[in-house]
Structures are given as structure tokens and as C-alpha cells.
Amino acid sequence: MKRATAFYLLVMACAAVAAVPPTLHAAKVAVETTSADGTVTTEEVALEIKDSRAVFRWPREKIPANVKRIAVWPDFAEARSGEDGCWVFPNNRMGRFTRAEGRAYESWGMFMPCFGMATPRETFCAIATGMSYSLSAEVTVQNGVYRMRALFDKYMDDLYEDISVEFRLLAGADADYSGIARAYRAYQLERGACRPITERVKDQPLLDYAVRHPEVRVRMAWKPVPSPVLEQVTRNEPPVKPVVTFDRMAHFADVCREVGVDGAEFCLVGWNVGGHDGRYPQIFPVEPTLGGEERLKACVRHVQDLGYQIAGHSSFRDCYMIADTFDSEFVVEKNPNGTLRRGKTTYGGGRLYTMCPQRAYERFCPKQCAEMATLGFKGLFYLDVVTARPIFPCPDPRHRLNNGQRATWECNILDEVRSVFGGSASEGAYDFCVGSIDSALTIQWCKPFEPPKCKLDDAYVPFWQLVYHGIVLSTPFRTMINCTANPDRRSLLKLAEFGGRPTYYVHSVFVTGRAPSMGTIDLELTTEEKLRQSALWIKEGCDDYNRRRALQFRFMDRHEDLGNGLFRITYSDGSRLVGNYNDAPRTVDGVQVPSLDYVVLPPARRTEM
């Protein structure tokens, strides 16, 4: 009952800020249906607004079989160029109302099935509550008039439920992108889609440690990527390159302790046969060139004896023909006639296929988790890719999954991992299994200090973090991995601004022929000097993180760009983090903030009793 009480208080706290009633009492949406043959029909629907909410529902029986797209235009989603306010997409894209013409469209980057708009008249958070994985969002500007609409334009041949959108109307202190994010967070908490970290640490003691310390991923071995052999078999398998043996890893942990890294959660990548993505779903034997199973177990014990946490990396998604368990029955990429769709992408194991998550669970997940647990791993166990890509259906009639069912099976996999190892981690920001995940390696893949690509965008704001900080640990930008090794100090400050947990990736650079996704700043263990330097960079990350890690247990409630290179973040306990991107100190909220640095201010003292 304790949990229920805390949850209730939380929901009430979220609801308390939304007390100002909206001005609207009724609204209309125009529903535009486009069929595959180009026919367009439009219908107007009146929505009743109750308790600051309006729900649009479009029964699937009403939708023609050849539908291609359904667009939902609310009449209140309109602003004029020059007005105050903004629009926001769920992948942190934000634009002000300053242009005369243009279009912004988001489909791939719908990390969460929501978007919002704040105008001088209305602010709303739109949430797709039916067919949510088909949602895209669009902003158009014509003759200085901005309009925003929901588009259902993906997987429309697989309608498995009614289309519905809930509009939450916001006012007063909620009438900005922070308020829009809080509205979606409240929705997720109310329906029990996820629980805050403060609640989960009671059941997941290892999560508490992970929250307080950086993640250090170590890539140990790999075969060439891209693979010179398309379909690998054991006779033509390219040689594995062992880079960090298990004994070397144990030594690295010793040096981390020696230089004063007070805590870290290590994650071993490529410990399995063939190294990183060697032969999935085959994982055993433990890669012999790294020292084999007994040396791995000794390494895990040694790292734990030093007081660190250590988990592993695996995949229940990527699969390769070289696996001793390969079976085209579980491959998702199939043509309508049942033949395999052979793509061009290769990784260490050769041509990449992906497994249906239902089959991955049934055939591999609980069994392999039990096997991997015997190696001693404990902590946030990492599953590659899962949350870094939008979900898509599995067409195989033997285990057909629509997107809703697919999400359930992805959750089953993550729940298993969490129950066996104490926590679960994956690669990205998609929230279809947010209740089953503890950490996300990358929220945005773009570069934070380069201007956004779309001409309507003004900035990247921590919209995802305003929703999920205090619920899921994250690193905000891919290039922010190995932050303290980056001579551009803005990177470390941006990590603090977006509430990120510091993440390191030793030997992040391994792919040939294309730019490394995490940037060229790497940590290496190839020489004693580089190994020691890597440990020192991690120590620097710990020291910085210690100033603000207590905030990870709080929600991020407001983000404010104060102009002139200054910002302020307000957390749910009233703490503030104020930062300064200038090359000279500045005063914010009465305190001096050094150049390229931040200060954490405790909650303001209450004067009333």
C-alpha cells in the first residue's frame, strides 16, 4: 500500500501545477482521410472538453481498407508568426513562431507518441492513445500562419485498434514546453506505464548504485565492421581482434580504484564468442582469445571485489547466419512470399538479420539470461538497439505481431533481464517499453552545438528529459559519451543541462569507412599510459557528477533558456541547476556561475510555516 500512496502523491503533485482552467470549452478537429488511390475525404468532429481534456476517437470500422493516412487538425493548434510560444516534437525539436513559410515533419523520431504547442490562446499536449506507433507530427507555416496536426501515416494496413488522440489543455505556469512535457509524464504515471526511480530502487537495489555512478562500457573484441564476408560460416569467419582481455579489464579496474574512481558500473561489450555482435544469437563459448570463461568469471569477481558494479552487453534482436542456432523461422525480414529480405547492412557477424521478439523470448531469452548469470554479472544489463529504433510488425504468420503485441514481447525480454541481473539498459529513447527499462545510452544522435537541420527548428530542448528524468537514466547526445575527454568543455555543461548520467565507452571507435557515431574522442586501453589516462577521465566525470547526482532521483520540472548563454533547470524538489556557456563568470539567481560551468542551488527556504 505504501507504493500506492507514494504514487498517488506523485500524481497529485503533477496535477497540482495544472490547476488553471483552460479557456476552451469546446473544440473541433478536421479529420482528413487519404486513401491509397489518392481519394481525400474530410470530416469535422466536435470535441467535448472535460476536466481540461478532449478526446478524439476514430473507430477503425470507419476507416477504409486502403487508407494511407489520417490527418487530425485541431482548430486550436494555430498561431501567427510573431506571437509568443512554441511547438515541440518528442525528439526535443522546438521552434518559435518566427517564420512565414515552411514545414517541419517528424516520423522516425517519435520517441514518445506525443507533441505539443503553446500559443497565446491555448497550450496543449497531444497524446496518441490508440494506434500510437503510427503517429507522426507536422507543423506547417503558410503566409505566417502556423498549424500543427497529428498524422497517422505508418502501418495503416495493420489497424489493430481505434485511432485516438487525447488533447490535454494547459494554462498558466504549464503553458510552455516544460508544461507540455509534464502533462505527458503525468499521463504515463497515471496509467502506470512507468514508475519513478525513487520507487524502483526499493525493489532494485542495484539500480541505486547505477544512478549514483557513471556507466563505463568496454568494447573488448570484434571482427571487422563492415564484414568482408557477407554470410559467415565457421570456415570463412574473419578473425576476432582481441583488444581488452579479461585480465586487462581487471587491471583497468585496479587503476580506476587507484586513481580514485569512487564508483562505476562497467559493462563488458563483446565478451561472447566472436566479440561484439560475433555470432548472435549464439553467445557461448566466452570468446577464447580474451581468456575464456574462467578468466571472465575471475575478472567479474575482481571488479566486484573492488566495489564496482559490472554487467554485460548482449542482444536478443540482431542475428547472423553463422550462429549455431540460426533459423530463418525467427527472422522478421521476410517478403510476402516468405523468402528472406537480404539487406546490405553488415556487422561483425556478417549480414544483419533481426529476430522476432516473441521468438527471441521463447527460444533464447530466459535460457540465455540464466546462462549469463552464471558468469557473475550484476547490474543494469545492456541489450543492444531495442529502444534505439521505432518498432515495426513481424509479418511471419507463425508468430505474427502487430506493433502493440511487439511492444509487449520487447517488454517481456527487458523484464526478464531486469529480474535476473537487477536492472535493464538499452540504446535509445523510444518509450514503448519504458516501464521495463532503467537506462538509455543515447537520446539524440545529432550534434548538440550545430544548428538544427530543419529551417523551422530553433533549438533542441530537453523535452524527453522533462518527461523521463527521474524515471530513466540517460545520456542526452551520442557525442556526449566520453565527455570529460572532450577538450570542448561545453559538452560537459550540456550533459549537466540535460540531466545526463556520464557515460564512457572504451574503444568506441571500431567501424571502418564511416565516421564513428560517438565522435572521435575515445578511451583506449592499448598502452599503460592510455589506460591510466582513461581512468583519470572517468575520475573527472565522477567528481563532476557527484555535485549533481542526487538530482537523478528528482523529476526535471522546468527548463529555461535565460538568454546570453545562461540557463536554469528546476527540479521537482525545488532545487535549481544554473549554468553559464560564456567564457567569463556570470551571475544567475544571485550566485556567481564560473565560465562553462554550473552551480546547483538547494530548494529555496520556505518563509511560511
CB closer to Zn ion out of 149 and 334: 334
Interface mask (CB under 5 A) for Zn ion, residues 468-497, using x and -? ------------------------------
Least Å from the CB of residue 402 to Zn ion: 10
Length of the chain: 609
Grid cell of 287 as nine digits: 570468446
DSSP string, 63-112: S-TTEEEEEEEETT-EEETT-S-EEE-TTSEEEES--SSEEEEESTT-SS
Of the CA atoms within 13 Å of residue 530, those in its CB half-sphere come to 11
The nearest distance, CB 404 to Zn ion, in angstroms, is 13
Alpha-carbon span 148 to 137, nearest angstrom: 8
Q: Which is nearer to Zn ion, 397 or 513 (CB)?
A: 397
* Contacting residues for 461 by C-beta, under 8 A, at least 6 apart: 88, 92, 94, 177, 559, 561
Tell me whether residue 398 or residue 455 sits nearer to Zn ion (CB atom). Answer: 398
User: CA-to-CA distance for 58 and 474, rounded, in angstroms?
Assistant: 35
What grid cell was written down for 492?
560537459
Q: Which amino acid is at 252?
A: F
CB of 322 or CB of 394, closer to Zn ion: 394
Q: Rule CB under 5 A: which of 211-250 touch Zn ion?
A: none
396/522 with CB nearer Zn ion: 396
CA angle 78, 83, 87 (to 5 degrees): 55
Site string for Zn ion, 14-33 (x = CB under 5 A): --------------------
Residues 243-262 that bind Zn ion (CB under 5 A): none
Minimum separation from the CB atom of position 230 to Zn ion (A): 24
The DSSP output letter for 465 is H
CB crowding 511-520: b at 16 or more within 10 Å, else e: eeeeeeebbe
Q: Which is nearer to Zn ion, 167 or 361 (CB)?
A: 361
Q: How far is the CB of 438 from Zn ion (least distance, A)?
A: 26
State yes or no: residue 399 binds Zn ion (CB under 5 A): yes
Is the separation of the CB atoms in 58 and 70 below 8 Å? yes
Please give the single-letter amino acid code of residue 5: T
Choices 141-149, 193-201, 207-215, 351-359 (CB under 5 A): range interacting with Zn ion: 351-359
Site string for Zn ion, 148-167 (x = CB under 5 A): --------------------
Q: How far is the CB of 400 from Zn ion (least distance, A)?
A: 6
CA angle 350, 355, 360 (to 5 degrees): 125
Q: For Zn ion, which is the closer residue by CB, 401 or 441?
A: 401
Question: Measured from the CB atom, is 372 or 413 closer to Zn ion?
Answer: 413
Q: Which of residues 365-394 bind Zn ion (CB under 5 A)?
A: 394
Torsion of CA 125, 129, 133, 139, to 10 degrees: -30
Local structure of residue 597 (DSSP, 8 states)? E
Q: Minimal distance in Å, beta carbon 396 to Zn ion?
A: 5
Measured from the CB atom, the residue of 396 and 431 that comes closer to Zn ion is 396
In the numeric block, which cell numbers belong to residue 203? 525493489
Q: How far is the CB of 407 from Zn ion (least distance, A)?
A: 13
What is the torsional sign of CA 456, 458, 459, 464? negative
Provide the β-strand partners of residue 582. none
The dihedral over CA atoms of 536, 540, 541, 544, expressed in degrees to the nearest 10, equals 170
User: CB of residue 391 vs Zn ion: minimum separation in angstroms?
Assistant: 12
Please identify, among the stretches 167-175, 183-191, 203-211, 354-362, the one whose residues bind Zn ion according to the rule CB under 5 A: 354-362
Closer to Zn ion by CB, 394 or 480: give it: 394
Least Å from the CB of residue 358 to Zn ion: 5
Specify the stretch interacting with Zn ion by CB under 5 A; choose among 10-18, 201-209, 350-358, 529-537. Answer: 350-358
| Residue 427 CB neighbours (<10 A) | 18
Q: How far is the CB of 133 from Zn ion (least distance, A)?
A: 16
Q: Which stretch, 105-113, 226-234, 377-385, 401-409, contacts Zn ion (CB under 5 A)?
A: 401-409
Q: How far is CA 586 from the centre of its chain?
A: 33
Q: How far is the CB of 174 from Zn ion (least distance, A)?
A: 41
Rounded to the nearest 10 degrees, the angle between the axes of helix 2-16 and helix 177-190 is 150
Q: State how far the Cα of 364 lies from the Cα of 335, in Å rounded to an integer.
A: 24
Give the C-alpha distances (Å, rounded to integers) separating 18 from 4, 11, 43, 168, 466.
Answer: 22, 11, 32, 10, 16
Q: Does 180 participate in binding Zn ion (rule CB under 5 A)?
A: no
Q: Strand, coil or helix: what is 408?
A: helix
Q: How many residues bind Zn ion (CB under 5 A)?
A: 6
- Single out the residue of 10, 163, 290, 356 in contact with Zn ion (rule: CB under 5 A): 356
**Three-class DSSP category at 503:** strand
In the complex, least distance from residue 272 CB atom to Zn ion, rounded to whole angstroms: 24
Using the minimum distance from each CB to Zn ion, give the nearer residue, 177 or 409: 409
Cβ proximity to Zn ion: between 402 and 419 the closer is 402
Nearer to Zn ion, 194 or 433 (CB): 433
Smallest distance from the beta carbon of 121 to Zn ion, in angstroms?
47
Per CB under 5 A, which region of 210-218, 223-231, 400-408, 492-500 contacts Zn ion? 400-408
Among 260-268, 306-314, 395-403, 532-540, the segment contacting Zn ion (CB under 5 A) = 395-403
Are 586 and 592 in contact by the 8 Å Cβ rule? The answer is yes
Shortest separation between residue 546's beta carbon and Zn ion, angstroms? 45
Between 362 and 597, name the residue whose CB sits nearer to Zn ion. Answer: 362
95-127 as b/e, with b when 16 or more CB fall inside 10 Å? bbbebeeeebbbeebbbbbbbbbbbeebbbbbb
List of residues contacting Zn ion (CB under 5 A): 356, 358, 394, 396, 399, 401
